[in-house]
Chain A
Amino acid sequence: MADTSTSHNQSPPGPIEVRFRGGGFAPRSRRWVGVVVFVVLIALIQWGTQTGWISPLTLPKPSDVLATFGELWESGLLFKHLQPSLTRLVVGAALGASAGIAVGVLIGLFSHVRAGLVPLVAAIFPIPKIALLPLFVIWFGIDEGSKYALIAFGTFTPTVVATYGAVDNVDRSLIRMGQSFGLSWFSIVRKIVLPGAMPGILSGLRISLAIAIILLVAAEMLGAEYGIGAYILEAGALYDLERLFAGVVILSLLGVILSGVIGVIERRLLGWRT
């Protein structure tokens, strides 16, 4: 109360509007910003390469990359490269992800399996799968077998980790509820554990599938005549930047499409989330 006397000397301050200090920290959907960033970047590169400010050794002209892409499309080579790559991706990722989910669920449900497999998974997770490619060639043959195996192996471990983490995170009270209503073990797993773990499994799949695309290039290092990865590697060896970038763009598009597909699945399956 001491300062009431001092404030008497000055005229009392007029009403001051409270300063706004909230806001921010709440990401909102601004999809067009991403598009603008892309367009500006590509325009800048086009201008730079056109004027010679960027040497042809540094970056290819975006228009030339587009032309290369057009040639790929017209000659039908695009599908000749895409078809084996997509097959490898689908088969490899399907094998890896389904095995990963199965093992992850088993680890999540059984203490013995957990004790036995978690250290093993932790041990194989950091192995660069590419390093094992020569070994896979011996085990599974130089043709499709080793490629499926590499992609499957690469997607397996992150799926396992994501899945058992997701199973661990399933609300225990729901499981207790299932038990209290006398549901069978199998019913509890199928109707409570699996749907409850689905958000975690799907976000794990997002990462696993991106890894599958990365490994596609690695898988096509050995003995692949056709395939997007083989195409990129060949372009790199020939220092053909237009083809290299065309290939990389295809991989990026593949990534965006896969992520979109998972997004759609998430919206369909996980509409119940608040």
Chain B
Amino acid sequence: MVTFNRRQTLGLIGAAAASSLAAPAIAKNRKVVVGALRFTSHSGSFIALERGYFDDAGLDVELKFFQAAQPMAVAIASGDVDYAVTAMSGGLISLADKGAIKVIGGALSEEKGIDGQKILASDAAFKAGLTAPSELDGKTYGMSTAGSSFHYMGSKVAQAEGVEVKFKPLQKVGAIIGALKSGQIDAWSIVPHIAKPLAGSGAVHIIGNISDYLPGYQVTTVFTSAKNASDERDQTKDFLAGFGKGVSDYNSTMIDKVGGDDGVNAMVDLIHKYVYTNRPREKAAPSIINGTMRINDGAKLNIASIRDQLEWFQSEDLVGKDITLDTVVDGSYVETYEG
């Protein structure tokens, strides 16, 4: 895609200049609501807003914060939110099937060699021999709900290891953490910025990486209402352009360290306005830095992973068997790839 290549080659200021040149072509200040969770993985939206990339794209963005991905998806369906980033889940596919939403791009993905989601074991289970995912047979595995990304990950890991696990739905991440710490469940998988501090406290142990089982796993996707995807193509493109710039700033600063430590510090300051706001900056900074994961440049989408997820949800009878990939994904906005 043209915008993608341009953003890759242009520097920060150049990108801003280029889009402000393009801006007069679009009506100014269209009001757009973007849903977000207070996670570092949503930094693309925060950066694009703070650094004016959305303004440059002619969008007047209001961030709306949610406690969980599920209500955010419902808010998109109801039209209260225009764009959001969240994990693929059965609920998302089901809403797509009802003609409410479309996946238009990718965000967080697993990549071999890059720090990604961790498989955790409770201390009790670890001491009893759960030191590797191959030992998961007969263990309990935490998840928010059936059809969540946790369910998918756990099931895929178990499948690869040829073991049986029992899934325990616990609704909220906080409840899963509590259950894992107290040994009520044996295992779980979660993003590194949550996994690492947990493991650091000694209450749980990291026993594997999701990327070893699901290389290229498209964890979160950018999605919007089906109406926006089909009728508001310009606005959707503009959103992706602004969001993409935020993402590339994030990747270049936090992973490639283009701006050195100063760049990282400035970025942490920016992200801290939205994430871990209840902690002082010096305590939030390590968590923000720990949580760094690569977000897909240009919001490109791993269509192979999406297909695999869809098929898994169907095989588990969590979503309708007749749902096709095209029902879920509108691949016309970003570069797609088979990873």
Contact = CB atoms under 8 A, between A and B. Distances in A.
Contact of A138 (B89, B168, B178): B178
B291 interface: no
Interface residues of A, number: 22
Interface residues of B, number: 34
B96 to A, nearest CB: 10
Interface stretch (B109-117, B144-152, B295-303): B144-152
B77 interface: yes
Contacts of A222: 168-171, 175, 179
A225 B94 contact: no
Interface in B93-124: 94-95, 98-100
A230 interface: yes
B182 interface: yes
Interface string A32-69: 00000000000000000000000111000000000000
B331 interface: no
Interface string B128-156: 00000000000010001111100000000
Interface in A107-150: 133-134, 137-138, 141-142
Contacts of A57: 77-78, 95, 98-100
A239 B146 contact: no
B339 to A, nearest CB: 26
Contacts of A137: 175, 178-179, 182, 184
Contacts of A134: 174-175, 178
Given A56-B99, A142-B185, A237 B146 contact: yes
Contacts of A223: 140, 168-170, 179, 184-185
Interface of A is mostly: loop
A67 to B, nearest CB: 13
A233 B169 contact: yes
Interface string B172-195: 001100110010110000000000
Contact of A233 (B78, B145, B166, B174): B145
B144 A237 contact: yes
A238 interface: yes
B75 to A, nearest CB: 12
Given A234-B169, A237-B145, A238-B318, 13 more contacts: A55-B98, A57-B100, A137-B179, A138-B184, A141-B184, A142-B184, A142-B185, A221-B170, A223-B140, A223-B170, A239-B91, A239-B94, A240-B319
Interface of B: 70, 73-74, 77-78, 89-91, 94-95, 98-100, 140, 144-148, 166-171, 174-175, 178-179, 182, 184-185, 318-319
Interface of A: 55-57, 133-134, 137-138, 141-142, 221-225, 230, 233-234, 236-240
